[in-house]
Amino acid sequence: MRLTKKIAILFSGNGSNLEALIKVLHNKRFIKSDKKFQQREGFLIGGIENEFLEVKASNTDSFRVEVVLALSNKSDAYGLKRAENLGVKTCILESKAYEKREDFDGALVEILQKEKIDLCVLAGFMRILTPIFTKQIKAINIHPSLLPLFKGAHGIKESFESKMKLGGVSVHFVNDELDGGEIIAQGVLIKNNESLEEYEQRVHSLEHFLYPLAVMKVLKGDF
Ligand code: GRF
């Protein structure tokens, strides 16, 4: 069976995760190999059991990933340029034009349902989502801390400033509770004597490595 899995990516700003996801996944075909996931790139990853291999279109067991839409709730988000440069359709749904959260979420759901997506991928989408969205759309999110620690908008800074010796990132399902849905995969970083900016850089590198793997895991129904 040569399946295509459609995803939409939602973001609000810089869009470095958006770009990483498009570069690794868009218009490519993969198979889940029997090979056990090998730790690499200096990261320790939990929750990804198998390797995913990119394969040619002739491989009949493969699934193709298509990023059908990159949607921002802010018209000045730099991620819009990144998506355009990579040939992905973009859309702006200005959240500030909506007084009620539910109305924005309703409009968002309508757009996503039209695209017939298999999965909605949040990548720096700075919105609290209501049940209007969470009850109708299967979505995942990436958060820059080892959840359930340091939920909310300051995950990187709070992890950095905490007495913990480890930091990391988490990919989780989206539900009504902020950063509270079931955890899909996590990556760990050993904290060292570095500046916040340096730590932040390493967090982003880890995110860019982990998120595409977690998306493939969910698309393959391994959850
Ligand atoms: C990332 O750190 C992500 O974990 C958080 O928002 C940030 C988005 O960064 N949810 P970018 O826009 O992908 O560069």
Q: What mean pLDDT do residues 75-85 have? A: 98
Cα separations in angstroms, 69 against 52, 90, 120, 158, 161: 23, 6, 10, 32, 36
What spacing in Å lies between the alpha carbon of 61 and ligand 1's midpoint? 33
End-to-end alpha carbon distance in the chain: 20
Taking the C-alpha atoms of residue 130 and residue 95, their distance in angstroms, rounded to an integer, is: 13
Q: Let me know if 26 is a catalytic residue.
A: no
Closest ligand 1 atom, residue 14 Cα: 12
Which of 143, 154, 204, 208 is labelled catalytic? Answer: 143
Closest ligand 1 atom, residue 125 Cα: 10
Residue 79 pLDDT more than 60?
yes
Residues with CB under 6 A from ligand 1: 11, 13-18, 123-124, 142-144, 207
What spacing in Å lies between the alpha carbon of 141 and ligand 1's midpoint? 10
- Per-residue DSSP letters for 149-204? SS-STTHHHHHHHSS-SEEEEEEEE--SSTT-SPEEEEEEEE--S--HHHHHHHHH
Do residues 219 and 171 lie in contact, with contact meaning Cβ atoms separated by under 8 Å?
no
pLDDT 10s digits, 124-135: 999 999 999 999
Q: What mean pLDDT do residues 145-163 have? A: 97
CA-nearest residue for atom 5, ligand 1, is 124
**How high is the mean pLDDT of the chain?**
96
What spacing in Å lies between the alpha carbon of 199 and ligand 1's midpoint? 14
Residue 21 pLDDT more than 70?
yes
The reported pLDDT for the residue numbered 2 is: 59
Q: Out of 12, 204, 210, 215, give the residue to mutate to test ligand 1, the one with the largest number of ligand atoms within 8 Å of its CB.
A: 204
What spacing in Å lies between the alpha carbon of 207 and ligand 1's midpoint? 8
Q: How confident is the model at residue 222 (pLDDT cuts 50, 70, 90)?
A: confident
pLDDT 10s digits, 22-71: 999 999 999 999 999 999 988 999 999 999 999 998 998 899 999 999 99
Q: How confident is the model at residue 97 (pLDDT cuts 50, 70, 90)?
A: very high
Instruction: Dump strand ranges (E) for the chain.
Output: 3-11, 28-36, 44-46, 50-55, 63-72, 90-92, 119-122, 139-143, 166-173, 183-190
